[in-house]
Amino acid sequence: MMTLIAARSALTQLFELSQRPHELVQGFAERLQTLAESAYSPAQRAQGVVDLHLVTIFTNGLSDDYIVRRLLRECLALWRKQLK
């Protein structure tokens, strides 16, 4: 069982996370997921709000603006498709 202090520390690291120089997008996503598993309980991760936080942290932490724009465009297209 994770302690409250460890979870809070992981959450702080999560919100400060950014892509390292020369780090692949996949590697950055994996680091984000690992920290998220430490920062949030399984019950919290099951809620959609955590996913929204993780998407925001991920896009804010990416170092390549082109990739950010592309991901946001694809997410918007998917969202519009699901609304139909």
- 79 versus 27: the higher-pLDDT residue is 27
The parent domain of residue 74 ranges over 4-83
* The model's pTM: 0.78
As a whole number of angstroms, the distance between CA 10 and CA 35 comes to 6
Q: How many domains does the chain have?
A: 1
Q: How does pLDDT run across 27-71, given as a tens digit for each residue?
A: 999 999 999 998 998 898 888 888 888 988 998 999 988 888 888
* pLDDT of the residue at 46: 87
Backbone angles phi, psi at 41, to 5 degrees: -75, 160
* pLDDT of the residue at 29: 92
* pLDDT of the residue at 2: 61
Backbone angles phi, psi at 16, to 5 degrees: -100, 0
Residue with tokens 């996370």: 17
Distances (CA, A) of 19 to 3, 12, 41, 58, 84: 27, 16, 24, 9, 34
Backbone angles phi, psi at 19, to 5 degrees: -70, 135
* pLDDT of the residue at 78: 79
